[in-house]
Structure formats: C-alpha cells, structure tokens
Amino acid sequence: MTNASPSRSELYKTITDRIVAALDAGVRPWLRPWSPSPTEGSLQRPMRANGTPYTGINVVLLWSEAAAKGYASRLWMTRKQAQSLHARIADSAQGATVVFGRRFTRSTSGPKGELVEASAGFLKAFTVYNGDLIDGLPERCLRLAEPARPAGQPIHRAECLFAAAGADIRHGGSRAFYAPDLDFIQLPPFDAFRSAESYAATKAHELAHWTGHRARLDRRFHDCKRFGSDGYAFEELVAELSAAFVCADLGIESEVRADHEAYLGHWVSVLRNDTRNIFTAASHAQRAADFLLAAAGRSAAGDALHPDCTQARCGGLERSAV
Ligand SMILES: [Zn+2]
C-alpha cells in the first residue's frame, strides 16, 4: 500500500530526522544486544513475505521500529501482500515506512523534435506491517522467518550465580526488563542475543533491578517509577554499575546496552547536580551485586545448585563464595 506520496525531500527529511533523533538520544538504531532472529552471532535482516531480506536504509528503519515496538518477528509486508496470503492485519495496526528507490531512463523529445534520453530517479514510500501484527500467515511464510540456531551455550558460571538468586526469570519476546509490581524478569530468548556475554550482562542488569524490590534491598529513589525522572535514571545507573561489578566478578566483559545508552545524557545531568551522586550510586550498586553474590555463596555452601549444574562446584560459585 502506497502512502499519500510525500515528496522525495520530505521522505529524506523524515527518515534522517528519525535516525538523528535516535543518535541524539545515544541510541544507535542499528545496534542492540539482541535481535529477534540472529544467525551466526549477527543480526538478521528484516525480511519480506517472499523471503527476500531488506537492504540499506530499510534495514535500519525496520530494526529501529522493531526495537521501539518490541516486535519479535523479522517478517514485514504491506496490507496488499498480507491479503494475497489470506492473512489479516487489524485496521488499527500501526505500520512502518519503508522506501523503494529506482533510477530509470525516460525518452522525451527535445526542442527540435529530437529524441532526448534523461535519467531520473524516484523514491516511493510504502507502509509495511510487522509479522507480529498479522494473523493467519501461512506456515511456509513463518518457516522462512524462523531464526537460525546460533552456536554457543549460556556461560555456566554465570548461570550458576544467577540461578542462586531465585528470581522469576521468563524468556520470550524481544525486550529485556524487570517488572517491579509483578516481581519478575523478562528476557528475550538466549538464542536472540549477540553472544553468551551479552545475554549474561543483560541478565545481570535486570537482576540488579530485581534486588531493589521491597522484599530484598528495598531501594527506592524519588519518583523512580516514572520513566524520564531523575530517580528512574538513577536506578538505571545503579543497575548498570551493579551489572558491571557482577560481570567483572564473573570475568565476563559487560557490554554497553544500546537500549540503555539513552540514559547517558540524563546521567550526566544527574551526576553534575550533585558530585556525591556517583558515590551514592556506586554504593547502591555494590549492595545489589553483593546481594546476588551472597545468594550464590549460600547456595554453594548448601545443596541448592541450579538443576542444570553437573559440576560439583562451578567456578562462579567458588568465586562468589569468597
Ligand atoms: Zn535497566
């Protein structure tokens, strides 16, 4: 389905503005620690209904749209394509803009009636919908979009430590978060992460949030439930630091989470407001890390090793028991 044809310059501007806005916020729209469907450690490109991957700017546009909306499917198609597959898209569904450009040669007649060949380009916008918004897609379409199996396993010592915390950790979807009211952690499936390290680092970050629950460390900063507040940014800083501490203890390189880079600017202002803030944040972060390490130490002393642990004492537990 074609949009009400915005001009080419409008399209360029809209798309440029969108990417610049993401970069301004510290988010690289082409980079995140997990993808809905990775293969061999790299992000997989969004795909059309016929199995052809998108290219160039459309990849960036669709990745950032998928990240913003939390879509897990890598399939995208127009309403018309969905209809041709006898699949349904709700009228209220929000599509994403992709562009299609092509150069062509046009023959016109010159001032003296001679034939003139002119090369021209056009850029057209289409609205496409993510597979998550489409009902009744045929099996062959869904199979096309199935993720390839990545190599690797979760890092054993990290899993031992994390399991000892006893948190309710659920897998699925394409976002990582801790739900404080329901007290559970949601993570994308392990296979969707770029690496075992990024999976472990993300888990450590969400577990740090989990330690703040009132039944545990009861960590509450002013207004911390409101997204965009100083308290919220502060809690993110604590989780970030705590994950870095835990990962360092485990000998895992913690990586910058693209979906948390947006806090960078806010942290700068929070930290500038009061030079003590970084100390406060670091001490909360240490308490959170210690809470997780202590749980692992207790379980190492007892018999509460996580069910998959086949080793008598695994590296992570030995280390954390110190
Ligand atoms: Zn966080």
As a whole number of angstroms, the distance between CA 159 and CA 244 comes to 16
pLDDT greater than 60 at residue 85? yes
For residue 288, the CA-to-ligand 1 centroid distance in Å is 13
Q: With a threshold of 0.75, does the pTM exceed it? A: no
Q: What is the pLDDT of residues 265-306, one digit of tens each?
A: 666 666 666 666 776 777 788 889 889 988 877 655 443 344
The 10 Å Cβ neighbour count of residue 305 is 19
Quick one: which H or E segment has residue 298? helix 277-301
What is the reported pLDDT for 218? Answer: 93
Q: Where are the alpha helices (DSSP H) in 116-229?
A: 139-144, 156-165, 196-211
As a whole number of angstroms, the distance between CA 115 and CA 24 comes to 49
As a whole number of angstroms, the distance between CA 32 and CA 66 comes to 11
Q: What is the pLDDT of residues 134-192, one digit of tens each?
A: 999 988 888 776 654 444 567 888 898 899 999 999 999 888 999 999 999 999 999 88
For residue 206, the CA-to-ligand 1 centroid distance in Å is 6
For residue 258, the CA-to-ligand 1 centroid distance in Å is 11
CB 246 within 8 A of CB 169: no
CA-based max dimension of the chain? 96
For residue 222, the CA-to-ligand 1 centroid distance in Å is 16
